[in-house]
Amino acid sequence: MLLLVLNAGTRPLGFIDALFTATSAVCVTGLIVVDTGKDLSLASQGVVLFMIQLGGLGVMTATTAFFLLMRERIGLRQRMFFAGGFGLDSPSGVKSLLIRILFITFVIEGIGIIPLFFGFLNSGMTHGSSLYYAAFHSVSAFCNAGFSLFSDNLESFSRTILVPGTVIGLVVIGGLGFVVLNDLREMFRRAEKISLQTKLVLVTTVLLVISGSVVLVLTEWGSAFGDLQPGWKVWNGIFASITPRTAGFDTVAPANFSSAGIFVLVLLMLIGASPGSTGGGFKTTTLAILMVSSWSFLKGRHEVQLWNRRLPFHVVQRSITVVVLYLGTLLVGMGLLALIEPFPFRTLLFEAVSALGTVGLSLGVTPELTYAGKIVLVLMMFWGRVGIVTFLYSLLKREIRERVSYPSEEVPVG
């Protein structure tokens, strides 16, 4: 409603477009049906930025922080939901973790403003505009939102280092997850060993960045990156490998990518960021656990082992559940879009994956969707950011103990 009122004097928004924009912001997706920089008033942009920050922190984090600021008591149930959102099984230390999360968020976003300010200033912008654009893009990048005040996103910076490099740093840090960032902070401060989760997140993230960059550079060398010099091809390939994992920024329009490049982008969007982060997707740890579990099965092992640690069966089971739920949602959403919209299958698949993974990349058809198609994407964005997380809370919170043990029977699979 705020967007409808505040934007009335600039470009009146329809209810569906306002709902889509608000959902995309609070779900830190970045899909747009109106030009954020041109079509939204300054006040509306402020509302979008606030919702991005709220969505990046997470609803439970923001709510818990509000109670903390109001000096209200944080109940056990709320502590459990907050802890569950970050993949923790115990509500102990929630208050201190929350304070660290807020501190880490605002410090990193503040640091990100500095290089972005000089990057925008060097592009010919005034000091005031550079500062405002730097603040907006720093929050948007750290929260993995992908909202940009430029009509072409960051495509005008494809031959620069400072702005894309800063965005990459903010996106990666925001996508690692607050628990991982806090773990790394404690490692440097007290020389403590990092947890299995942190090690798994870091290794998986590095492998995804390297493999994605190599494949995209090879597939787009003469295609999407054809007009760039060799050095810039590699640089934009790295950028294109990192941002699909829920950030949604682009220096080269995804519509220019080859079919092989689009396929890689879709895979990266599906995987997403890490647990307890500002990003979406079915998460890096989920992918890693499934890969390790499959390898253990092929090796004939009865237990899933990783770095001299045994992974409990319920963790593997939870990972399978998340992927099945995620892909099931994608199939339903994709089916509805195929029934409603006249666009090619590849285009609709890209939009659906981008919405569910809260990525924000588009092949350029989002504003052209019908109201029904936009509603489908709204529901997918909401489910991708809130629904799956809430479902995970229920998995973390309660375990049903079976009172009856039934005889087992083999069923062939594969």
**pLDDT digit string (tens) for 147-188?**
999 988 999 999 999 999 999 999 998 888 777 887 887 777
Distances (CA, A) of 275 to 48, 108, 257, 269, 279: 24, 19, 29, 15, 8
Q: What is the mean predicted confidence (pLDDT) over 204-221?
A: 93
In the chain the first and final C-alpha atoms are separated, in Å, by 51
317 pLDDT higher than 90? no
Distance CA 54, CA 25 (A): 9
Distances (CA, A) of 248 to 129, 197, 304, 344: 22, 25, 34, 21
Residue-wise pLDDT tens digits, 13-28: 788 888 898 888 888 8
Per the listing, tokens 């990666």 go with 172
Burial (0-12, 13-18, 19+ Cβ within 10 Å), 354: buried
Q: What is the mean predicted confidence (pLDDT) over 47-59?
A: 82
Residue with the bigger pLDDT between 73 and 225: it is 225
Distance CA 325, CA 319 (A): 10
43 pLDDT higher than 80? yes
For the chain, the average pLDDT equals 82
Dihedral angle sign, alpha carbons of residues 220, 225, 230, 232? negative
- For the chain, the domains span 2-396
Confidence tier at 56 by pLDDT (50, 70, 90):
confident
Per the listing, tokens 């400072």 go with 162
Collect all residues with Cβ–Cβ distance below 8 Å to 125 and sequence separation of at least 6. Answer: 133
pLDDT of residue 169: 93
Residues in the chain: 414
Distance CA 387, CA 70 (A): 28
Burial (0-12, 13-18, 19+ Cβ within 10 Å), 118: middle
Nearest CA-CA partner of 198 in 213, 186, 215, 214: 186
Confidence tier at 410 by pLDDT (50, 70, 90):
low
Residue with the bigger pLDDT between 337 and 398: it is 337
6 pLDDT higher than 70? no
Q: Are 268 and 184 in contact (CB under 8 A)?
A: no
Q: Is 305 helix (H, G, I), strand (E, B) or coil?
A: strand
Residue-wise pLDDT tens digits, 274-306: 877 777 788 888 888 888 888 888 887 777 777
Residue with the bigger pLDDT between 409 and 155: it is 155
